[in-house]
Structure 1
Amino acid sequence: MDPLHIGILISIVTILVLSSGIPVAFGLGLVSVGFLVAFEGIDSMKILAETFFAGIAEFSLVSIPMFIVMGAAVASSPAGKDLYEALDRWLHRVPGGLIISNIGACSIFAALSGSSPATCAAIGKMGIPEMRQRGYPDGLASGAIAAGGTLGILIPPSITMIVYGIATETSIGRLFIAGLLPGLMLTALFMAWSLFAAHRGGYNFRDAAAGFSLAQKLEVLPR
C-alpha cells in the first residue's frame, strides 16, 4: 500500500476512534500502536519500548520534576501572600495599583516556579478576592491574573522552554536568555495597560485611611 492510502486510512480510523468518545490520548495511542503492529509486525513493539525509554531518559528532564516540586512548595507557602502584600503596600497610592501588584507578583513568582498554572494558582487565590472586595470588575480581576500567569512560560526558568529545548535539541540556556527580555517587556506592557485601564475606567479604589508608612513598607521586604 502506498503512503498516500496509508495516510488516508489512518485518518479515517483516527476519526472513527475519536468519535466513539474514547479519550484523545488513549485513542491516538491505540491507533498508532495498532497500525505499527499491522504494518511492521509484533516485533516492532520492542523498538517502541526502547524509543519510549530513550525519550524519558534525557538527563535534562531531571530538572522538570524539581521545578514542579519547587513551584508546588512555593505555591503552598506564605511566599505568594508576602510578595503580594509587599507590592500592594508599595503601590498603594498608584491608580490601579492593585492590578499592577498582581502583574508584578505574577512576574516574580513566575521566575521562582517556572510554571504558569502555579503562578495563577498562587497569586490568583489572593489577588482575585482582594480586587473583588475593592470593587474591581470580575473580568478585570480574572484577566489580570490570567495575563500575568502567561509570564510563567517566558521568564526563566521555564518548564515549557526546557521541554521545547529537549524536543528540538536547542540550547536551553539560550532559550532562557531569549525569553528574559520578552518576559520583562511583556510585564512592563501589562503594567502600562493597567495604568491606562485604571485611568479610563476610574478604577482607583484606594482607601485614604489605610495608607502605609515607610516603616510598614520596609518591614514586609525581608519576608
Structure 2
Amino acid sequence: MMSELEIGGLLFVVTFLVLFSGIPIAFGLILVSLGFLLAFGDDGGLSAVPSTFVGELSNFALLTIPLFVLLGCAIGASRAGKDLYDSLHRWLYRVPGGLVIANIIGCGLFAAMCGSSPATAAAIGKVGVPEMIRRHVPPRLATGSIAAGGTLGILIPPSLTFIVYGIVTQTSIARLFLAGVVPGLVLVVLFAVYAWLRTRLQAPSAMAAAAAATERYSFAQKMSGLVRIAPFLCIIVAVTVVMYGGLATPSEVAAIAAFLALAMVALVYRTYRPREVWVIMRDAIRESCMILMIVAAAAVYAYMMSYLYITQSVAEWMFSWNLSNWELILILNVFLLIAGFFLPAVSIILMSMPVILPVLAHNHVDLIWFAVILTINLEVGLIHPPLGLNLFVIRGVAPEVALRDIMLGTLPFVAILLLFIVILVFFPEIATWLPNTLMGPGK
C-alpha cells in the first residue's frame, strides 16, 4: 500500500507527463484526477467530481475573466498598438535607444489595457519589431525587448494571473492589482535603462545614424499622436478611479472596461462591422472558455489531492523541514521558475497553490507580496524555452529573425527579472506599499 507522499510523487510525475504530451490542460487535469480517484480512492470520491466542476464555475468572481478577456480582444483587434508606438516614438526619437524605449513603454501601456502577455507582445511586436529592424536596431535587442516587455501583461493590472490567484487564495483582487502597479512600473524603467545603456555603449551604424539624422517631428505632430491614444488612456484612468475608489467590485469594473473598450474601438477605429465584431467575440469566447475550463478542471484536481490526503501530507512534510522564511522563499522561487519553463501561468497557480498555501500561512508569508514574486517568476517562463510563449509570438511577427537570436535577445531581460525578484525579497514594500497605503494594512 502506497503512502500519501508516494502517491503525491507519482501524481507529480504522471501530471507532468500528461500535460507535456500536448493534451489540452483542462482535459489532462480531469483525466489525471479521475484516474487517481479510481486507483486510490472510492466511489464517494468520484461522485463529487461533477458538483466540484460545476460548483467552481458558479463562483461570481470568475465573471471578471471573460470580461477582461473581451477587453483585451477588443483592443487587440484595433490599431491601438500601432498608435501607441507611433505616439511614443515621436516624443523619444532623439533619445539614445528611444525607438526601443518607446516599444517598452508601449508594452507597459498596452498591458495596462488588456492584461494578457501574448496579446501585448503581438500587438506591439507587429509594428515595433519590423520598424526597429528597418531602422537598424540590432535584431536581438529589437525582438528581446518586446518579448520581455510583453511579459508585463500579467503583472500590470488588469492581470488575469492576479484574478486567478485571488480566486484560489481568497485574497482581494483589487489589492493584488494595486500590488502589481509599482513593480510593473519599475520593470518598465529597468528595461528602458538597459535599452538606453546598450544603445549608448554600442556605436550606431552609418545607416542608422543617417536615418536618425533625417527624422524630425513638430510639436503639432507629437500632440496629434497623443490625441489618438487618449481614449484608451481614459479607459485606464476610469478603471483605476472606479476600482480603487471603491465605487465598484472587480467584476463590475471589468464590465465597465469591456464596454468602454468596445465603444472606443467602434468610434475611434471604426471597428463596428458584423464581421469585425464577430472576430472579437469569437476570440474572447475561445480564450475565456479555455481559461474557465482550466479553472474548473484544476478545482477537481485540487479536490482529488485533498480527498486522497496528498495536499495535507505534502504540507505536513514541508512543515517538518522547519525552514526559515528565507529558505522557504528560495525553494519556492526555484520551483516556480522551473515550473514556468514547462507550464502556463494559470495552470501553475491552480495546481500548486492548494499545496503551497498552507505552508505560506504557517510561515506567515504575505500572500499579496508572494503573488508579485510568483508572477515575476512566471514572466521569466514566458521568455524562456521550452514553453516561452512570447518567444513564439515574436517569432510569428518577425519570421526573418531566427528563434535562436530572439532567445539570446531575451537573456539580459531574464537577468533583470531575476535581479528584481531578489530586490523584492529584500524590499517587499515595493509591492505592498501601494495597497497598504490606499486600502489599509492587509489582514
Counterpart in the other structure of 2:3: 3
SS of 2:157's equivalent in the other structure is coil
Alpha-carbon distance in 2 for matches of 1:197, 1:103:
14
Kept in 2: contact 1:13–1:31 (CA 8 A)? no
Counterpart in the other structure of 1:220: 225
Q: TM-score, normalised by structure 1?
A: 0.89
Q: What is the deviation of 1:4?
A: 4.5
Alpha-carbon distance in 2 for matches of 1:68, 1:15:
27
| Higher-RCO chain (CA-CA 8 Å, sequence separation at least 6) | 2
Q: Name the aligned partner's letter for residue 34 of structure 2.
A: V
Alpha-carbon distance in 1 for matches of 2:115, 2:13:
38
Q: What is the deviation of 1:35?
A: 2.5
Kept in 1: contact 2:15–2:29 (CA 8 A)? no
Mean Cα displacement is larger for which, 199-208 or 42-51? 199-208
Q: What is the deviation of 1:24?
A: 7.3
Q: Deviations over 1:29-74 (max 9, x none)?
A: 3332123134443453330111111222211111111111111111
Q: TM-score, normalised by structure 2?
A: 0.47
Alignment map for 1:72-111 (pairs within 5 Å):
72-111=73-112
Cα 1:29/1:80, change in 2 over 3 Å: same
Q: Name the aligned partner's letter for residue 3 of structure 2.
A: P
Which structure would you say has the larger Rg?
A: 1
Alpha-carbon distance in 2 for matches of 1:79, 1:89:
15
Alpha-carbon distance in 2 for matches of 1:92, 1:216:
13
Alpha-carbon distance in 2 for matches of 1:192, 1:12:
41
Alignment map for 1:32-181 (pairs within 5 Å):
32-181=33-182
Q: What is the deviation of 1:169?
A: 1.1
Alignment map for 1:1-40 (pairs within 5 Å):
1-4=1-4, 7=7, 10-11=10-11, 14=14, 18=18, 23=23, 25=25, 26=27, 28-40=29-41
Q: What is the deviation of 1:156?
A: 1.0
Cα 1:44/1:80, change in 2 over 3 Å: same
* Equivalences, count: 223
Q: Name the aligned partner's letter for residue 132 of structure 2.
A: M
Kept in 2: contact 1:96–1:203 (CA 8 A)? no
Identity %: 49
* Structure 2: 5+ residue stretches without partners: 229-443
Q: What is the deviation of 1:11?
A: 4.7
Kept in 1: contact 2:15–2:32 (CA 8 A)? no
Counterpart in the other structure of 1:207: 212
Cα 1:16/1:158, change in 2 over 3 Å: closer
Q: Name the aligned partner's letter for residue 216 of structure 1.
A: Q
